[in-house]
Amino acid sequence: MLLRLAIRDVVLIERLDLDFAPGLTVLTGETGAGKSILLDSLGLALGARADSGLVRPGADQAVISAEFALPPGHAVETLLRDQGWQTADTLVLRRIVTKDGRSRAFVDDQSASVGLLAQIGALLMEAHGQHDDRGLLNPAGHRDLLDAFAGHAALLAAVREAHGAHARAAADLAAAEAKLQDARRDEEYLRHVVAELRQLGPEPGEEEKLAAERHLMQEGARAAGDLDEVAGMLAESGGIETRLRAAQRRLERAAGRLGPQLEGVLNALDRAALEAEEAVSALSAARSAIAYDERRLEIVEERLFALRAAARKHHVQPDALAGLAAEMEGRIAALDAGEGRVGVLAAQRDESRRHLVAACAALSRARVEAAARMDEGVNAELDALKLGKAKFRTRVEPLGDGQWTADGADRVTFEVATNPGAPFGALIKIASGGELARFILALKVVLAGAGTAPTMVFDEVDRGIGGAVADAVGDRLARLAGNAQVLVVTHSPQVAARGRQHFRIAKETDGVTTRTEVVTLDKPARREEIARMLSGAEITAAARAAADALLKAAR
């Protein structure tokens, strides 16, 4: 609900502070007094487009602040929380427009975008008038209004649950089909690689073992060559031990002639021959102990090279080949099982589709029934509002399969035909300015709070009517004000008499400067204002008596 409106330097308004009450507030005044300035100012605070022409001549900027009371759990609280803002019981929206056309927006004195201000404004206030292009005139909201009118919350919840389940089932099926398609594209390659790897039969750690064995045999081969060369050297000329023994025998014959002088030499040669025999024997044993098998080396190298070549081909380490083979075998197994899974998921998708169709059908039937009730209610209001020749209808059309949403399978639009036999069309295209406002009023009365903002503004809803019709308009505005705060700009005394709060808007001039002033009227002043509206410039006793009668009837 709008609590306060503060305006500074807007067109003819220099300074204005207004406090608003619940229920029906009426704004009256002579044509051109500035009622539109007041509404434009309120619109600016709620995110309307700014214009430098709104800044009062001689001022640097215009400032408008609007304070609202937030009902508990109002959608604005959710909107602001999603933006990371803290909320309280009241909310102050402020707009500053400079004389060069720039504007700034604030929410509770925190800088905000004009877009956020407009979102908040749309949730806090509905403005209905001759040039209104939002609210009831926007077909995008007609389905929600019909559902709110009929109380379709349970049916909508069922549709949304079924729509979500079907969307998930369809997504699961699409993912499985895409995975299967990818697997089929690689199937020939996978089977070829698995066959190669199965034939190769790699084992974890095998490459390291083979490399170690190959290294050992290569070192053995080099060592065997060295030992064979040494053995050849020792075996030259009959062998070293043979030559040592021959030398020993020759010296033994000479020892008989020379005596003990050669005894030391003979002993040394004997020891050398024995050591040589041991050396040759040890060399032979060492050569025999070397594990070198040329054929085995070839086998090991072929296997090692095959493992490393396969690893390079598949861009993995040799030890990962066994895991790669297992992975590819798993993908082939998944491919083989994929057809079955796709079949199961397709069945689940079809079942979820049946549930969705049933839920949407139930909601559609309820909408058609509710549309008939709404049409009956709105058409019943039209005669009293001087629209008796017009007809209103709520059109419920089925959407194509691809257009279904979580809100169902229908498009809902409000249409009117202003004369018998005339074609139905959209409200905004068919109805004239005054008719449009009264159609909206009839709709709002029937909707009785469904999708209604806490504050509603009607701009000259009584244009071109009077007498009983104006009284009917006032009655319906008062009924609306029982569920929401209603502000109405009116030229009708019958409407003005219904107000719980009354503002008079007038131009004041001192001969130099013209200003728009707004005065809150007490009971006597209200009587005079309604009498003026009845009689014109000269207020007569009859006009005052008629004003008294209107005020008494409105109580």
Contact 183, 335 (CB under 8 A): yes
Task: Report, as an integer, the average pLDDT of 110-118.
Answer: 91
292 pLDDT tier (thresholds 50, 70, 90): low
Contact 416, 424 (CB under 8 A): yes
In 3D, which of 45, 67, 61, 47 has the Cα closest to residue 10? Answer: 61
Distance (Å, rounded) from C-alpha 106 to C-alpha 3?
Answer: 17
Contact 126, 457 (CB under 8 A): yes
Supply 331's token pair: 């993908």
Residue 504: predicted pLDDT: 93
Contact 10, 103 (CB under 8 A): no
Contact 194, 332 (CB under 8 A): yes
Angle of the 114-124 helix axis to the 75-82 helix axis, nearest 10: 160
Return the higher-pLDDT residue of 42 and 273.
42
DSSP letters along 232-273, please? HHHHGGG-HHHHHHHHHHHHHHHHHHHGGGGHHHHHHHHHHH
For 456-492, the pLDDT digits (tens) are 888 877 777 778 888 888 888 898 888 889 999 988 9
Q: How many CB atoms lie within 10 A of CB 216?
A: 14
pLDDT above 90: residue 526: yes
pLDDT above 90: residue 283: no
pLDDT above 60: residue 132: no
Extended beta strands in 314-454, E state? 391-398, 410-417, 425-426
Kind and range of the H or E run holding 499: none
How many residues can be counted in the chain? Answer: 555
Q: How many CB atoms lie within 10 A of CB 396?
A: 21
133 pLDDT tier (thresholds 50, 70, 90): very low
Kindly state the percentage of the chain with pLDDT values over 90.
33
Half-sphere exposure of 55 (CA within 13 A, CB side): 18
Residue 443: predicted pLDDT: 87
Average pLDDT, the chain: 85
pLDDT above 80: residue 396: yes
Task: Report, as an integer, the average pLDDT of 280-308.
Answer: 78
Residue 261: predicted pLDDT: 67
Task: Report, as an integer, the average pLDDT of 281-298.
Answer: 72
Supply 514's token pair: 């013209």
pLDDT above 60: residue 131: no
516 pLDDT tier (thresholds 50, 70, 90): confident
Task: Report, as an integer, the average pLDDT of 52-61.
Answer: 88
Q: How many CB atoms lie within 10 A of CB 48?
A: 19
In 3D, which of 377, 384, 389 has the Cα closest to residue 414? Answer: 377
pLDDT above 90: residue 48: no
Task: Report, as an integer, the average pLDDT of 36-61.
Answer: 88
Contact 54, 62 (CB under 8 A): yes
pLDDT above 90: residue 61: yes
pLDDT above 50: residue 66: yes
Supply 416's token pair: 């009117």
Residue 356: predicted pLDDT: 96
Contact 191, 331 (CB under 8 A): no
Return the higher-pLDDT residue of 425 and 554.
425
Residue that the structure tokens 């609590």 belong to: 3
Q: How many CB atoms lie within 10 A of CB 26?
A: 27
Contact 474, 554 (CB under 8 A): yes
Supply 527's token pair: 């009587």
pLDDT above 70: residue 286: no
Extended beta strands in 99-197, E state? 103-107, 110-112, 125-128
Distance (Å, rounded) from C-alpha 257 to C-alpha 245?
Answer: 20
Distance (Å, rounded) from C-alpha 553 to C-alpha 473?
Answer: 14
Question: In angstroms, what CA-CA distances link 337 with 191, 200, 323, 510?
Answer: 15, 26, 21, 92
257 pLDDT tier (thresholds 50, 70, 90): low
pLDDT above 60: residue 130: no
Task: Report, as an integer, the average pLDDT of 34-43.
Answer: 85
- Three-state DSSP state, 336: helix
For 340-377, the pLDDT digits (tens) are 888 899 999 999 999 999 999 999 999 999 999 999 99
Return the higher-pLDDT residue of 220 and 344.
344
Distance (Å, rounded) from C-alpha 14 to C-alpha 12?
Answer: 6
In the chain, the N- to C-terminal Cα span, in Å, equals 23
Tell me, what amino acid is at 335? L
pLDDT above 50: residue 495: yes
Tell me, what amino acid is at 136? L
Residue 280: predicted pLDDT: 77
Return the higher-pLDDT residue of 491 and 294.
491
Q: Minimum mean pLDDT among 114-118, 176-180, 419-423, 451-455: which range?
A: 451-455
| DSSP summary character for residue 487 | E
Distance (Å, rounded) from C-alpha 455 to C-alpha 124?
Answer: 6
Residue 26: predicted pLDDT: 94
Contact 452, 481 (CB under 8 A): no
Return the higher-pLDDT residue of 354 and 30.
354
Q: φ, ψ for residue 29 (rounded to 5)?
A: 155, 165
Q: φ, ψ for residue 484 (rounded to 5)?
A: -155, 165
Pairing of β 110-112 and β 514-520: unpaired
Residue that the structure tokens 């939002």 belong to: 134
Kind and range of the H or E run holding 16: strand 13-19
Residue 259: predicted pLDDT: 62
92 pLDDT tier (thresholds 50, 70, 90): very high
